[in-house]
Amino acid sequence: MDLGIAGRWAIVCAASKGLGKGCATALAREGVNLVINARGIDTLEETAVYLRTLHPAIEVRCVAGDVSRDDIRHALLIACPQVDILVNNAGGPPPGDFRNWTREDWLNAIEINMLTPIELIKATVDGMAERGFGRVVTITSSAVKAPIDILGLSNGARSGLTGFVAGLARQPRLAEQNVTLNNLLPGSFDTERLQKTIQSSSQATGKSQEAIADQRLQGIPARRFGTAEEFGAVCAFLCSVHASYMTGQNVLLDGGAYPGTF
Ligand code: NAP
């Protein structure tokens, strides 16, 4: 299927590895020009080199730095001639017990996993509406639908973001101007973050990493972890011309782990 977005420009945040890289990869294959971001410049530039090999006509620009910083977001917006597609992403907050979290821990989580995407949405959706095309895909987590006890900072901040996006997607002059806002909710995907989570559970419990991974797989009807490539393919579809009538949705990608009917 031709997704109809060749020649468009996208900002993909937190895209040097993992799910963000999966999204950038799928968009690059469709001929979308990219501005990609991550804090570590070396891996970011390696990813840019890889993305340029995927399509002969695309341009890939890098903006290194923490996306929760105003100056980095500003640099992302300056680097992108026109933002047709925005993929919001960043690292997740650390796990822990809410009894140990300080006000500062909460403010950090809200800053990165709620206010940062809201600032980027604010800076881009009106221009998208004026041009009659826009796609915002925000990577959140399956924890928005089924909270994970040790990820209270993520459950809280991302749920706030989800509520905001749900309201914004229905505001006047967005959907009617072909601007859609949807969230992608990853379950367990085989990325560096997942491997680190498995390693720390192994250290905390004394169980082997294989045993921890196997235990997690028992809760996933697909009996495997997702791949960044398949995550990116769904993102690219949401960014396509075919998804114009889909907005304000939370799309769960979890191999069937969430047990609810809806
Ligand atoms: P990952 O493999 O660790 O990759 C994270 C990427 O984000 C890297 O490119 C990293 O590069 C970049 N990054 C992290 N913090 C950043 C920041 N402040 N500013 C700019 N770039 C930043 O992680 P992932 O598994 O793809 O996860 C992506 C998001 O999905 C996270 O929020 C995670 O909590 C969420 N999620 C993932 C899963 C899963 O199973 N993988 C499940 C649920 C939710 P630098 O370190 O160089 O900045």
Q: Give per-residue pLDDT as tens, 181-213.
A: 999 999 999 999 999 989 988 998 999 999 999
pLDDT at 207: 95
CA pair distance 95, 92, nearest whole angstrom: 9
Ligand 1: distance of its center to the CA of 177 in Å?
31
Probe residue for ligand 1, chosen from 12, 19, 154, 227 as the CB with the greatest number of ligand atoms within 8 Å? 19
Q: Please indicate, yes or no, if residue 258 is contained in any of the structural domains.
A: no
53 shares a domain with 34: yes
Q: Please indicate, yes or no, if residue 259 is contained in any of the structural domains.
A: no
Give the pair of three-digit tokens for residue 154: 């993520």
Please provide the distance, in angstroms rounded to a whole number, between the alpha carbons at the two ends of the chain.
28
Ligand 1 touching residue 68 (CB < 6 A): yes
Domain count, the chain: 2
pTM: 0.98
140 shares a domain with 221: no
- Region 228-255 average pLDDT: 98
- Counts for the chain of helices (H) and strands (E), in that order: 9, 7
Q: Which residues contact 122 (CB under 8 A, 6 or more apart)?
A: none
Asked if 193 and 260 count as a contact pair (C-beta separation under 8 A), the reply is: no
Q: 118: domain CATH number?
A: 3.40.50.720
CA 187 to ligand 1: nearest atom: 42
28 shares a domain with 137: yes
- pLDDT tens for 17-68 read 999 999 999 999 999 999 999 999 999 999 999 999 999 999 999 999 999 9
Ligand 1 touching residue 19 (CB < 6 A): yes
Ligand 1 touching residue 88 (CB < 6 A): no
Nearest CA to ligand 1 atom 8: 17
Ligand 1 touching residue 232 (CB < 6 A): no
Ligand 1: distance of its center to the CA of 16 in Å?
9
pLDDT at 199: 92
Query: What is the share, in percent, of the chain residues with pLDDT greater than 70?
Result: 100
pLDDT at 220: 98
140 shares a domain with 63: yes
CA 39 to ligand 1: nearest atom: 48
Reference 213, options 230, 235, 227, 196; nearest CA is 196
Give the pair of three-digit tokens for residue 55: 């399509």
Ligand 1: distance of its center to the CA of 90 in Å?
5
- pLDDT tens for 58-99 read 999 999 999 999 999 999 999 999 999 999 999 999 989 999
133 shares a domain with 35: yes
Probe residue for ligand 1, chosen from 47, 63, 89 as the CB with the greatest number of ligand atoms within 8 Å? 89
120 shares a domain with 140: yes
DSSP 172-207: TTTGGGTEEEEEEEE-SB-SHHHHHHHHHHHHHH--
Ligand 1 touching residue 155 (CB < 6 A): no
218 shares a domain with 135: no
Domain range for 154 is: 9-187+227-247
- pLDDT tens for 109-134 read 999 999 999 999 999 999 999 999 99
Give the pair of three-digit tokens for residue 92: 């997740």
pLDDT at 200: 85
Ligand 1: distance of its center to the CA of 14 in Å?
6
